Structure 1
Amino acid sequence: MTEENEAGGKSHMPELLERAKGYLDECRTSVFTEAERATLLCAASKLLSLWGVTRSQECQLLGAYIGELDSLRPEMLGPQECTTLAHLVAIHDHLRSIFPPSEEMLAYRWISMPNAAFDGESALEFMCREGPAGVASVRSYLDSFQ
C-alpha cells in the first residue's frame, strides 16, 4: 500500500493516513477526566516547546478550532482535542524509547528532520499540513517500531 515518491523510494503516506482514521474514530468515544485533560495540556505544551514548534504550527497541529495551548483550560478540551494531545505525547514517548538517553537531543530534533516516510517532509511539516489526522498518522508510523 505504498507509492513511489519523487526520489524513487516508497512513500508510506497513504497507509499512514488510512491507519490514522482508526485513531480518529477512537477519539469519538474516548472520555477524559479533568485531571487527564490537565495532564495532557501540560505535557503537550512542554513537548511542543522542546520541539521548537511555533504558535502558527501549534494551531495547525491542533486544528484551528483549538487555538493556542497557553490560552486553554482543561475543561475547554473535548475528546478530539484530548486525543490529538495524547497522540503528541505518545509520539514523544516513542521517540524517547527509540533514541537512547545519550542521544536525547535526536529525539527532539527528529520531528523537524526530513523523512522519506513523509515524502521528504519532516514529521512536523507533515503533521502541520494534515492537522490532527497527520498527528495520528505520525503516531501510527512510530507505533510500527514498537
Structure 2
Amino acid sequence: MKIGELAKRSGLSVYTIRYYERIGLLPYADRDDAKQRNYDPSILVWIEFLDRLKTTGMPIRDMLRYGKLRAQGDSTSSQRQELLEAHRDVVSARIASLQDSLSVLDAKIAGYGDAERRLSGHALSTPTTNPGIPLRARPAGTLRDRR
C-alpha cells in the first residue's frame, strides 16, 4: 500500500509516517520501481499500537526503545513487558490524579447547581409583589434633600 493509503487508513499524516520511518519507529518501506514507498498492510497493527502508546503519553524515546526490543525478537519479551508495566504505572497514577481532579470539578459544578436552587427558592421580591420589604432605605440628608 502506498503512503497516502497508509495515511488514510492509519489516521496518521504522511509527514508523521515519514518521520516515524526516519527515526526508526516504523521500518523502512520497500520501494517500487518509481521509488515510491510500498507498505505491507500488517504495519497497521503496529501503527495502532504506537498510537495507543502515544495516547497514553509514552515518550517517543520509550516507544523507540520498545520498537528496538520488539525487532530483536522473543528474547526481549521480558524487557518489553517491564517497559510496558512501568508505563502502565505512570498511566494509572495519571488516571488517579485525573479522577481526583474530576471529583473536584464535579463538586464545584454541584455547588453552582445548589446556589441556583437556593436562589430560585428565595427569589427576590419586587416592591409590587411584596410592598412590605423596602428596596433600600435612603439616609436623611441625601443630595436630593439638600437642593
Question: TM-score with structure 2 length normalisation?
Answer: 0.24
TM-score w.r.t. length of structure 1: 0.24
Larger relative contact order (Cα-Cα within 8 Å, sequence gap ≥ 6): 1
Larger radius of gyration: 2
The structure whose residues are more often helix, as a share, is 1
